[in-house]
Structure 1
Amino acid sequence: MQYLNAIPSRPVPEPSIFTPKLYVKCGPLLRYVGLRLDSVSQIAAKRGHVPTAKKEREVWRGTVMMVTVDDRSSFNPAPRLRLFAQSIEFLTGTREPAGRRDSASRLWRKKDGEKQQKYKDVVGTRLLHERGVTWWRFTIEIELTDKQARIAYRINRGPSIAFWVPAREETMNIMFHSCNGFSLGINPATFCGPDPMWRDALQAHRRKPFHVMIGGGDQVYNDAVAEQTTLFREWLLTKNPLHKYSAEWTDELSDELENFYLERYCDWFSQGLFGVANSQIPMVNIWDDHDIIDGFGSYPSHFNGCPVFSGLGRIAQKHYLLFQHHTRVYENESHEPSWIMGAEPGPYITERSRSIFMFMGRKVAFLGLDCRTERQRDVIVTPETYRLVFDRARREIVTGVTKHLIVLLGIPIAYPRLVWLENLLTSRLMDPLKALARMNVLGGLLNSFDGGVEILDDLDDHWTAKSHKAERNAFVKQLQHLAAEKSVRITVLGGDVHLSGIGQFYSNPQLGLPKERDHRYMPNVISSAIVNAPPPNAMADVLNKRNKVHHLDDYTDEDMYPMFPVDVDGKPRGNKRLMPRRNYCTLGEYDSNQDPEVEELSKASSRIGIPKFLRSSTQKKGTGLSGKSKQDIIVRPQGANAVDALEVILRVEVNQKNPDGATKPYRLIIPPLTTQSYDATAST
C-alpha cells in the first residue's frame, strides 16, 4: 500500500474516550440522503390538532456510519449518537474560568444546544456483524430553518464533530471531486501525498461551508488487490485462458478478498484529510471502475463473467454499499426513497444497479447515474433502466420551481474523440507487438486480466467510444427532451480522465437561440483528479488538438469550452480547453454580492486561525495560503448578477510540490433555462 504509507496517520481513538467504550476502526462517515417536504397540516392532523394554515417544513435526511472492533467495545447498551445545534458563535466562545462569569462564556453556553439540554439521541442500528467488527448506522433528520445551521454530533459521549445544513429552500453549496487515490506505479511523494487538495477543500469549507460532497467515482483505488493478495494474484497470473476462465470461486478466495476490501476501505476512508472531510461534509457518491478494480465491466464478457472476476465484483459492491452508502445489498427503494433501482440484475455482479435522485435545495435536483453495475463492453445502462430513471426525473422535477438538474456520470460525455486510437489498438497492425509482449519483450503493453492492450479498457469505458456512440447520442437527446419539457437547465458532472475542463452541447448557431433559451445547452463539468497524478502536458495537448466542433445531429453541436486562457501563474496558455493539474470543483447559486453569513464566518475563522491538521509546515497561523489572508482568497463572482444561475468553480492546483495545496479558481456561470413552450418534434 505505497500511497497509504504517504498519509499521515491519525491516532486511533482510545476506547476510554467513549462511554460505553468503543474501539472505532473506521468512521464516523457522514452521508446525505435527501430532503423531505412535510405538510404542516399533515403533521398537525397526526397530533390531533386542527391546522390553521397550509405550510411545508423541509427535513434534511442523512446517516452516520462507523465500524467498531467487537472485542474492544461494549455494545450494552447499543451505541448512541447525540445530535444538537451548535451555532457559529460557539467557535468564538471560551470555557468559563473558575469563579468568573462574563458575556463571552454565557454566549458559549446559550448557543450550544447540548448545554441547553436541547438534543436528540439516536440509537445505532447494527447494519452488519462479521470478521470481528460491526457496522453501525445512525439515521438522522433535521428540520431546516431560515438560516443555515451548524449541527454537531457525538457518539457515546465521545468528541463532538460538526457539519452544516442549508437554510430552508436554499441551494446547497456543493463540492465535487473524483479519482481520490493513486494508480499503481505512481510515487505519492512526487505529489506531496493525497492531502494537498483536501487541505485546500477543507480551508474552503471553513470560509464558506459545503453542505454536501459529491464523489464522482474512484473514491478509493482498489487496484492493489492484484498485488496484495495471494490466491487472487495467482489466478491473475494463470497463463492458460481455459484454466483461468473456468477456475472455481472458492471460500478461501472469497475470504481473502473480503479481508482486502474491508481493510482497504477502513484505511483509506479514515486516514488523512479525506478522513476528516468524511466526518464533516455529508457525502453523496457514485462508483466507477477503481472502486472495484481497474476496467471492471469493460473487458470481454468471457473474462468479466468468469466465476472469479464476477465474484470479486460482488464483494466490491458489498463494501461500496456499506462504506459509501451505509446500506446492504438487500435494501431497496422501500428502505431508501432516493434510490432508483435498475430494471434487472447486472450481467457480472448480478445485482440491480443503484442510481440516486434527490434535491440539493428546492431549485436544484441531482441525478447520480450508476454507470458501472450494468456495464458491458457495448452497454453502459440498459434501455429499461434508462426508462425508470427518466420516469423518476419527470415525476420529481417541478416545472417553474426546479431550475437546475445536475447529472453525475463517472466519465465525461462531452470529450475529445479517441476513436482513432481505438482503431489502431484493435487493428491487426498490433498483432506483432502483442506477440512480443506475450514473450515479455514489451513489458506493460498487455494487461494481466484478459491479455488485451493495457489502455484499451480505458478507451472502452468512454461514452465517446465507438461501441457506445449510439447509446450516448440517444441519452443526450433524452436529456434534451427532459430539459425542454420541464424548463430545467441540465449540467453534467464527470471525472475519470485526470484533467479538468468544460465540454458542452448547444444548439446549432444557425438556429439563433440565446444560451438562456437553449434547452440543448448542456455543459459537462470535468473535474479530475483530486489525488491521482495528472497526465503529461504533451498528452493534454494531443487531446486538445483532437477537439473540434462535432455535430450530434442537425440541431446539436458539441465541443470543449476554452476555460483556461491563462495558466495558474497568469501566463497565456496554448491549450485553453484542458488543464492537466490536480483539481476539484464547487457548485452553488450565483450571487454577485458577498453573503453576510460567509463574511461573518470568514471573520470568525480569522480570529481562531486554522487548525494544525489543516496547515502544512509552510503555512502561517491564521492564514489560508502561505502569506495570504483568508479574505484575500474568498471567491467573489464578477459581472452582472443572474437570477437562479449556477456558479461552477474549478479549483486547480498551483504547485504539486507544495503541500499547501494552493489553488487557482476558474469560474463558469450557467444560466437557468427559460422556455416558452415545449415542442417534442422541435427538440428532436
Structure 2
Amino acid sequence: MRENNGFAGPILHFRGCDAGTLHLAAITIRPDHAPAPGPVQAQAGSVAPVLLAQVAGLSIWRHDFALRAGEAGYRLDGRDYPVATRLDGDIRLAFVSCNGEENGDLDRDGAERNLMWARLQADHARAPFALLLQGGDQIYADEATHGHPLTEDWPKHVPDSPSEADLADLTRHLERRFAQRYMMVLAAEGCADLFATVPSLSVWDDHDICDGWGSLPESRTNSSVGQALFGVARRMYLLFQHGATDADVPGLFMDPAGRNLGWRRDLPGVTLWAPDLRSERRRDRIMGPGGWNAVEALHPSGDHVFMVSSVPLLGPRLSLVESLLMAIPRMQHYEDDLRDQWQSHAHRAEWRRMLGHVLRMREKAPVTVLSGEIHLATRAEMGPESTRIHQLVASGISHRAPPKAYARALGLFAGLGEAPLAGHPIAIKPLPGQRHRYVAERNYLTLDRGNGRWQAVWHLEESGLTPPLDLD
C-alpha cells in the first residue's frame, strides 16, 4: 500500500444546503511539524483553516465554507477542486459500504483493493456525483487492538483492573492504529480525488469500532478496556468521517447530547437520514433513548426519503438460522454476527418499531432504504404496491466477496420470506438483470434523479452495470 507520509486531504463533508448555497467542511491532515494549509478560496471569499485536533502525530485542519449553486468549486493551495453545487433538478448520488477487510487490510495491493474505487472515480469524472453516502465499515479496525498487552486477546480476555497509566498507554496505541487505517483509506490512490470533490455523509458500523461491537458480551464492552476502545473509535469517527469534534455534535446529529450519532440532511426534494445502530447498542437492544427519540421526532420533507441503515432493515428469517445455530455448540461463535441483525430474536420488537416508523414516513413520500454490511449485493421490497418500501444493498466496495455458493444458499433460504408486520411481507429479490437473489461480487450503487424520478444502478465487479431500477 502506498505511503501517505502523514498527508491527506482535502476531504469534503456535507453540512447542508439552503437557498441555493451548499455548506461544506473540508479537512486536511498533515504531520504536526508541517505548515498549515492555506485558505480555501471561493466566490464568497477566502476562508482560513482552523486546527481541529492533534492526534497520533497528525494535525487535522478544517475549512468551513460555502459554495453557491452553479459555482465551479473551490481552490486550495494552488489547486482547483470541482464540486457539483446544484442539488435541485437532476443529480447523482453514490453509495458505498464495507471498505476493507478484517485481516491484513493494510498489506493488500492498493490497485487490487481499490479497484472499485477507481471505477467510482472514473464514473464521477464522466458524470459528477453530488454526494457520496457511506453506509458503514469505512475502515476495518479489528486489528487495531493487536500489539498492546491490554487488548492482545480482545475480546476473548479483558484484564480485570488495569491501571490508569496502562489505559492511557492503550489509548495512545489505539489512536495510532486507528489513524493509520483512516489515513490509508483517505489518501489511497483512486480515492483521494473523489473525497476532495464529492462531499461525504457517513454512518458507522461495527468494524469502525471492532467486530461485533454492541453484540459482544457486556462484560467486554462495559469494561474499562472496552470503553477506552469505544472512546477512541468514536473520536476518530467524528474527526475523520465527519470532520468534527464533540463541540460540533449538537449541530450535526439528531441527538444533541451525542448519545446517538444518527443524522438527517435535506436536499431539494429529498430527505436523507441515518439512524446510528452502534453507539447505544447492547446485546438486548439496537438503539437507546437518544436514537429512538430522534426517530420519533423525525418528519421528512420532500418527494423522496432515503434511509441509510448500516445493517439491512429488510431481511430474511435470520431468527430461524439463529435458533438452529444456537442448538449446535460448535456453531455458537456465530451468535454475535446474528445478534447484529435487526431480525435477531433479541431485537424483533425494535425491528417492528422501526418498520412502523418507516411506514409512517411512507405515507408522505416514497422511501428507499440503503444498506451494506453483508458483502453481497441484493435488494428487497416490503408491503403491497401502494405502500411499497425498497431496500437496496450495496456491500463490498473493497471487501472481497464471499463464495458464490454461500450467496446461492442464502438466496434459497431467503425464499422462505418474512412478514414482521401483518400485511407487509418482505421479499428478497434479484437485482435487475440477475437470476439469483444475492450477487457475490464487489460492488457500489449509484442513484440518479432525472426529470423528478429516481433510479438505482448497481456496479458489479464482474457483471458490470445492472439495468436501472425505478424507485417510485
**What TM bracket, shorter-length normalisation?**
over 0.9
Q: Cα deviation per residue 1:128-152 (whole Å; 9 max; x = unaligned)?
A: 235543211100112214xxx4313
Aligned partners of 2:255 and 2:290 also within 8 Å: no
- Code of the residue aligned with 1:212 in structure 2: it is L
- Determine if the alignment matches structure 1 residue 407 to structure 2 residue 284: no
Which residue does the alignment assign to 2:445?
Answer: 585
Secondary structure class of the residue paired with 1:30: strand
Q: Distance in 2 between matches of 1:549 and 1:454?
A: 25
Aligned partners of 2:271 and 2:306 also within 8 Å: yes
Q: Cα deviation per residue 1:38-80 (whole Å; 9 max; x = unaligned)?
A: xxxxxxxxxxxxxxxxxxx32211100012223232x5xxx43
- Code of the residue aligned with 2:49 in structure 1: it is G
Residue among 63, 67, 76 paired with 1:154: 76
- Code of the residue aligned with 2:32 in structure 1: it is D
Secondary structure class of the residue paired with 1:563: coil
- Code of the residue aligned with 1:408 in structure 2: it is V
Q: Distance in 1 between matches of 2:106 and 2:233?
A: 25
For residues 276-355 of structure 1, the aligned pairs below 5 Å read: 276-333=193-250, 336=251, 338-341=252-255, 352-355=259-262
Over alpha carbons, which structure has the higher Rg?
1
Indicate how the Cα distance of structure 1 residues 234 and 388 shifts in structure 2: closer, same or farther if over 3 A, else same.
closer
Aligned partners of 1:342 and 1:385 also within 8 Å: no
Indicate how the Cα distance of structure 1 residues 555 and 232 shifts in structure 2: closer, same or farther if over 3 A, else same.
same
Which residue does the alignment assign to 2:45?
Answer: 120
Q: Distance in 2 between matches of 1:141 and 1:186?
A: 36
Which residue does the alignment assign to 2:393?
Answer: 526
Q: Distance in 2 between matches of 1:178 and 1:124?
A: 30
Which residue does the alignment assign to 2:279?
Answer: 373
Which residue does the alignment assign to 2:469?
Answer: 668
**Offset of residue 248 of structure 1:** 4.5
**Offset of residue 564 of structure 1:** 4.6
Indicate how the Cα distance of structure 1 residues 372 and 161 shifts in structure 2: closer, same or farther if over 3 A, else same.
same
Residue among 66, 70, 82 paired with 1:141: 66
Q: Distance in 2 between matches of 1:321 and 1:186?
A: 22
Which residue does the alignment assign to 2:7?
Answer: 25
Which residue does the alignment assign to 2:148?
Answer: 230
Residue among 19, 23, 29 paired with 1:61: 23
Which residue does the alignment assign to 1:197?
Answer: 116
Aligned partners of 1:356 and 1:367 also within 8 Å: yes
Secondary structure class of the residue paired with 2:246: coil
**Offset of residue 552 of structure 1:** 2.6
Residue among 386, 393, 413 paired with 2:292: 386
Secondary structure class of the residue paired with 2:459: strand
Q: Distance in 1 between matches of 2:194 and 2:285?
A: 34
- Determine if the alignment matches structure 1 residue 456 to structure 2 residue 335: yes
**Offset of residue 319 of structure 1:** 0.7
- Determine if the alignment matches structure 1 residue 220 to structure 2 residue 139: yes
Q: Distance in 2 between matches of 1:185 and 1:267?
A: 13
Which residue does the alignment assign to 2:269?
Answer: 363
Aligned partners of 2:377 and 2:439 also within 8 Å: yes
Q: Distance in 2 between matches of 1:315 and 1:257?
A: 7
Q: Distance in 2 between matches of 1:274 and 1:259?
A: 22
Aligned partners of 1:245 and 1:302 also within 8 Å: no
**Offset of residue 546 of structure 1:** 1.1
How high is the sequence identity, in percent, across the aligned residues? 23
Aligned partners of 1:245 and 1:303 also within 8 Å: no
Which residue does the alignment assign to 1:468?
Answer: 347
**Offset of residue 477 of structure 1:** 1.1
Indicate how the Cα distance of structure 1 residues 247 and 129 shifts in structure 2: closer, same or farther if over 3 A, else same.
closer
Which residue does the alignment assign to 1:423?
Answer: 323
Aligned partners of 1:366 and 1:407 also within 8 Å: yes
**Offset of residue 153 of structure 1:** 1.9
Indicate how the Cα distance of structure 1 residues 471 and 153 shifts in structure 2: closer, same or farther if over 3 A, else same.
same
- Determine if the alignment matches structure 1 residue 82 to structure 2 residue 82: no
Aligned partners of 2:249 and 2:256 also within 8 Å: no
CA RMSD of aligned residues (A): 2.4
**Offset of residue 261 of structure 1:** 1.5
- Code of the residue aligned with 1:211 in structure 2: it is A
Q: Cα deviation per residue 1:226-257 (whole Å; 9 max; x = unaligned)?
A: 33x23344353876xxx634445522212211
Secondary structure class of the residue paired with 2:91: coil
Secondary structure class of the residue paired with 1:165: coil
Which residue does the alignment assign to 1:206?
Answer: 125
More deviation in 263-272 or 210-219? 263-272
Q: Distance in 1 between matches of 2:155 and 2:254?
A: 38
For residues 589-668 of structure 1, the aligned pairs below 5 Å read: 589-591=449-451, 644-654=452-462, 663-668=464-469
Indicate how the Cα distance of structure 1 residues 464 and 331 shifts in structure 2: closer, same or farther if over 3 A, else same.
same
**Offset of residue 297 of structure 1:** 0.9
Q: Distance in 1 between matches of 2:275 and 2:339?
A: 18
Q: Cα deviation per residue 1:461-495 (whole Å; 9 max; x = unaligned)?
A: 111111111111111012112221xx211110110
**Offset of residue 327 of structure 1:** 0.8
Indicate how the Cα distance of structure 1 residues 187 and 280 shifts in structure 2: closer, same or farther if over 3 A, else same.
closer
**Offset of residue 171 of structure 1:** 5.1
Which sections of structure 1, spanning at least 5 residues, go unmatched? 13-23, 37-56, 85-117, 344-350, 434-444, 446-452, 508-514, 567-572, 592-643, 656-662, 672-684
- Determine if the alignment matches structure 1 residue 494 to structure 2 residue 412: no
- TM-score of the superposed pair, with normalisation by structure 2: 0.92
Aligned partners of 1:588 and 1:647 also within 8 Å: yes
- TM-score of the superposed pair, with normalisation by structure 1: 0.65
Aligned partners of 2:40 and 2:63 also within 8 Å: no
